[in-house]
Chain A
């Protein structure tokens, strides 16, 4: 049976993520305990704030040895949302150079938006780049809600879908059981709920 553990590292904005699991009637907990991380079937890493602030809080509040073991050795599905996706990279350049979790090759840099204003805020279309069950029943051009100034620069094989804002950058990335979405599925109405449901059957 599915049991989601929303990783609680004191990021403060987990409520909308909790609300979506509540709405979908999914068994979930908000926790940072080793027991809950181990006993869950799926992990969610959400967050707001800058790369460095989030990494600092994660280092302070999460049992990283257990988490890394579950994700890298036991292949437990994990979904990173927004900054939660970005910190899966090796390095981030927001405010200061910071080391990330290093689960997916790449770095986080400011969006090259050309003349467009930053942050990139609002509903934007995604274009699929590779096959993955995470985008089942999602059409090319479907809209999701984004709020970001930074993006995850990675190699093409990890990119499930791109979006475009001055330049193209990853909207969904995947390295086997490790998934990240730059947008907020919990705030993207029906399209977002499809992503969450797809994640839960992985």
Chain B
């Protein structure tokens, strides 16, 4: 039986790990390479790396850096930030990543996702969707959460599924970094409307939160960040907790 994945998300800029609240990520929390080595030892299920400055600075992904990271990483590695064309994806894979996460460009140019999934296969194209609640509606935000769109999360997720996206990393900007729990109802709604795996992101503050996202929202994987930095919690402990609760995870 397929195991539910626990995925640490690592946000970085200028080679430093950062983490903040509601997408204001200014606090430096450590070194990227040290974290990768640590996580590899702790046998996590997968790692997501997002370069949060790449889109803003309109720069290419840092291929050399991805190559350095991947050298010590023997679990699946998903890399995102600033991806706009097929050539960049090709070079990211060449540098050792296994999946790419695409955000702003997927919204601006949905056809790009169709091309990417045809070229590289759906399984390695992850669409990262950030959203905020505005007047009781969940609206998609792009450019690291800075630009509001008028498209609903459900509508955009479905479009991405149709374009061949293999997975959706769904992040609530309102919940991000708060450690107050995931946005369970939206996750559940998206999960019920889609037929590709959904990764819950934004708000994990306890192992119980992960349990709720898995058991109530029925997500396929849970991503977390702050709890691993600020609360000394570990993916391993999370799994031991979840197993006790009857969730099928890899120990």
Q: List chain A positions with a Cβ less than 8 A from chain B.
A: 12-16, 19-20, 22-23, 48-50, 53, 83, 95, 116-125, 143, 145-149, 164-165, 184, 186-189, 192-193
Contact = CB atoms under 8 A, between A and B. Distances in A.
B93 A15 contact: yes
Nearest to A185: B74
A122 B93 contact: no
Contacts of B71: 19, 22
Contacts of B194: 117
B98 A149 contact: no
Given A13-B98, A19-B70, A121 B166 contact: yes
Contacts of B76: 145, 147, 184, 187
A22 B94 CA distance: 16
A123 B250 contact: yes
A122 B45 contact: yes
B2 to A, nearest CB: 5
B123 A119 contact: yes
B195 interface: yes
A95 B90 contact: no
Contacts of B45: 122-123
Helix, strand, loop or mixed for chain A's interface? Answer: mixed
A192 B250 contact: no
Given A20-B74, A145-B75, A189-B75, 6 more contacts: A13-B98, A13-B124, A15-B93, A122-B2, A122-B3, A192-B74
B67 interface: yes
Given A48-B120, A83-B121, A95-B118, A122 B5 contact: yes
B64 to A, nearest CB: 12
B43 A189 contact: yes
B145 interface: no
Interface in B81-102: 90, 93-96, 98-99
B221 interface: yes
B220 interface: yes
B122 A123 contact: no
Nearest to B76: A187
Contacts of A83: 121
B108 interface: no
Interface in B1-28: 1-5
B110 interface: no
B176 to A, nearest CB: 23
B5 A48 contact: no
The 10 closest A-B pairs by CB, nearest first: A15-B96, A147-B123, A13-B93, A119-B123, A123-B3, A123-B250, A12-B93, A49-B121, A124-B2, A187-B76
A48 B220 contact: no
13 contacts: A12-B120, A15-B67, A22-B71, A23-B74, A48-B120, A116-B2, A119-B167, A120-B2, A122-B197, A125-B1, A147-B124, A149-B122, A187-B74
Contacts of B166: 119, 121, 147
A48 B96 contact: no
B120 A119 contact: no
B121 A121 contact: no
Given A16-B98, A122-B221, A148 B74 contact: no
B196 interface: yes
B96 A121 contact: no
B155 interface: no
